[in-house]
Amino acid sequence: MTFVNRMQEKLARGEVALCMATRLARTAEIAMIADSCGFDAFYVDMEHCTISLDDTAQICIAALPVGVTPLVRIAGHQFEDAARLLDMGALGIICPNVSTRGEAEAFVRACRFPPLGERSVGGAGPLQGYRQTPLSEVNKQGNAATSLIAMLETPEGIANADAIAALPGIDVLLIGSNDLCTAMGIPGELKNPKLRAAYESTAKACKAHSKILGIGGIRADVEHVAELIKLGARFVIASSDVQYLIKSARQEVESLRKAN
């Protein structure tokens, strides 16, 4: 028995997978909440919050029997953290700021078992429900269930999109729209032709190498998201628990103020 990567299965069918970000949550309930809201996956954002490795691992383990896919965005290229999180239940790693094929290769080496990479073997773990499993199967199952998501956040990354997409072991090329716009000198201009051109060239690279195009940072504009889905995007980052809390709280306050 192994737990399944529901997000991965949906992407394999050519469907759109929706992913929620979490920065506030420190307990396992967030997995159930993400699932109850209809998300296919969520990611713990270790790049932009102070959540600990241990809390992140507990959230990932709790998500497995729920069925929602647990991902983690690591804080940089500290792949020792990524490998430990995969050992402790994460079914995918989002690596920020991948700008070259060499950086993508390092990502794959750390997070894939041989022959694709050099990930250290930890034996049967959360993915297998801690059931006794031959090591050859543990490694095979780990590679099959793990999604590696490379974020393109610089003009250099976009220029190297084809080389990154061609790399075995990379599953998704995720454009970090806000960081990319900032690096391009057009911060906040999410409909700038430069950003659109970046999406188009990356979509072409993904199609050529049978990889998934991901979009992040455009959640507030549903029509824009729909356009990018038509372009080929299938992995879509939605809002975070921070943004959902703020939005809901503001609406509640506005309603109560009107009752005064």
What is the set of active-site residues? 48
C-alpha count within 13 angstroms, C-beta hemisphere, residue 145: 26
Going from the C-alpha of 65 to that of each of 102, 129, 156, the distances in angstroms are 35, 9, 39
CA 235/CA 254 separation, integer angstroms: 33
Q: Are 196 and 180 in contact (CB under 8 A)?
A: no
Structure tokens at 254: 């506005």
Q: Are 32 and 2 in contact (CB under 8 A)?
A: no
Structure tokens at 249: 């709280």
Q: Are 171 and 211 in contact (CB under 8 A)?
A: yes
For the purposes of burial, counting CB atoms within 10 Å of the CB of 197, is it exposed (0-12), middle (13-18) or buried (19 or more)? exposed
